[in-house]
Amino acid sequence: MGWFRRNKQAAPPPVSKEELWVVCSSCTAHIFKEEWESSGKVCPKCGHHERLTAWERINMLIDPGTFREINSGITVTDHLKFVDAKGSYVEKAKEAREKTGLLEAVVTGYGRLHGMAVAMAVMDFRFLGGSLGSGTGEKIYLASCYALRHRLPFIIVSASGGARMHEGIISLMQMPKTCAGIAKLHKARIPYISVLTDPTTGGVSASFAMVGDINIAEPGALIGFAGKRVIEQTIKQEVPPGFQTAEYLLEHGFIDAIVPRKEMKDFLSRTLKYWKP
The pLDDT score that the predictor gives to residue 97 is: 97
> Which 3 state secondary structure label does DSSP give 55?
helix
Indicate the residue among 30, 50, 70 that finishes a domain: 50
Residues ≥6 apart with Cβ < 8 Å to 230: none
pLDDT in tens, 47-75: 999 999 999 999 999 999 999 999 999 99
Q: Are residues 234 and 174 in the same domain?
A: yes
Domain-located, residue 191: yes
Instruction: Please say if the pLDDT value at position 99 is more than 60.
Output: yes
The percentage of the chain sitting over the pLDDT mark of 90, rounded to a whole number, equals 87
Domain-located, residue 218: yes
Predicted structure pTM score? 0.91
Average pLDDT on 110-130 reads 98
Q: Are residues 254 and 180 in the same domain?
A: yes
The percentage of the chain sitting over the pLDDT mark of 70, rounded to a whole number, equals 94
CATH number at residue 160: 3.90.226.10
Q: Spell out the alpha helix ranges (H) of 45-86.
A: 54-61
Q: Spell out the alpha helix ranges (H) of 188-219.
A: 202-205
- State the Rg of the chain over Cα: 21
87 vs 19: which has the higher pLDDT: 87
Q: What is the DSSP letter of 239?
A: P
Q: Write the CA distances from 84 to 22, 44, 130, 172, integer angstroms.
A: 36, 42, 19, 19
Q: Are residues 33 and 133 in the same domain?
A: no
Q: Are residues 32 and 113 in the same domain?
A: no
The pLDDT score that the predictor gives to residue 241 is: 86
Average pLDDT on 7-13 reads 57
Q: Are residues 40 and 123 in the same domain?
A: no
pLDDT band at 18 (very low <50, low <70, confident <90, very high): low
Domain-located, residue 2: no
SS3 content of the chain, % helix, strand, coil (to 5): 40, 20, 40
227 vs 182: which has the higher pLDDT: 182
The rounded distance, in Å, linking the Cα atoms of 49 and 39 is 10
Q: Are residues 136 and 112 in the same domain?
A: yes
Q: Are residues 150 and 253 in the same domain?
A: yes
Q: Are residues 139 and 94 in the same domain?
A: yes
> Which 3 state secondary structure label does DSSP give 198?
strand
Q: Are residues 80 and 45 in the same domain?
A: no
Q: Are residues 41 and 121 in the same domain?
A: no
Average pLDDT on 219-230 reads 93
Domain-located, residue 111: yes
Indicate the residue among 50, 68, 94 that finishes a domain: 50
The pLDDT score that the predictor gives to residue 125 is: 98
Domain-located, residue 84: yes
Nearest to 264 by CA among 217, 214, 211: 217
Domain total for the chain?
A: 2
Nearest to 220 by CA among 56, 46, 39: 46
Q: Are residues 119 and 40 in the same domain?
A: no
User: Which residues constitute the domain of residue 201?
Assistant: 51-272
Q: Are residues 30 and 129 in the same domain?
A: no
Residues ≥6 apart with Cβ < 8 Å to 74: 103, 104, 135, 138, 139, 142
Instruction: Please say if the pLDDT value at position 21 is more than 70.
Output: yes
The pLDDT score that the predictor gives to residue 8 is: 55
The rounded distance, in Å, linking the Cα atoms of 205 and 46 is 26
> Which 3 state secondary structure label does DSSP give 191?
coil
Q: Write the CA distances from 171 to 2, 119, 164, 261, integer angstroms.
A: 77, 24, 6, 30
Indicate the residue among 50, 74, 95 that finishes a domain: 50
Query: Do 259 and 217 form a contact (C-beta atoms < 8 A)?
Result: yes
The strand pair at 116-123 and 154-160 is best described as: parallel
Instruction: Please say if the pLDDT value at position 4 is more than 90.
Output: no
Instruction: Please say if the pLDDT value at position 161 is more than 70.
Output: yes
Domain-located, residue 224: yes
pLDDT in tens, 74-97: 999 999 999 999 999 999 999 999
The pLDDT score that the predictor gives to residue 34 is: 92
Query: Do 164 and 106 form a contact (C-beta atoms < 8 A)?
Result: no
Domain-located, residue 160: yes
The pLDDT score that the predictor gives to residue 152 is: 98
Strand partners, 122: 107, 157
